[in-house]
Amino acid sequence: MCQASLMDEADWGRRLARLWTSIDYQREDDFLATMENLVAELPEDDPVGLFEHASALDSTGHPDLAAGRYRQALERGCRGSVVVGR
């Protein structure tokens, strides 16, 4: 499993969920900037951060940019479902 390594994972997970819920109501660049800021709260090589950033890029039409981040997330232990706030 891929799990965030944060002090307050539940809060981070709620903010992540809100961001994903808002994807259809935000400009692409605003959504990506907010995701980058949220991911920046995690350690640089955190697999959840890498996975979520990749997913955001993929979901906004940038699969070419997402592929490397997905690969990094897998290399750092992300397997199966992503679990945040566990």
For residue 1, the model assigns a pLDDT of 45
CA distances to 12, 14, 28, 29, 30 from 76, in Å: 20, 23, 27, 27, 28
Looking at per-residue pLDDT, the higher value among 80 and 53 belongs to 53
Contact assessment for residue 69 and residue 50, using Cβ atoms and an 8 Å cutoff: yes
For residue 2, the model assigns a pLDDT of 60
For residue 68, the model assigns a pLDDT of 94
Tens-place pLDDT, residues 8-22: 888 999 999 999 999
Tens-place pLDDT, residues 34-63: 999 999 999 999 999 999 999 999 999 999
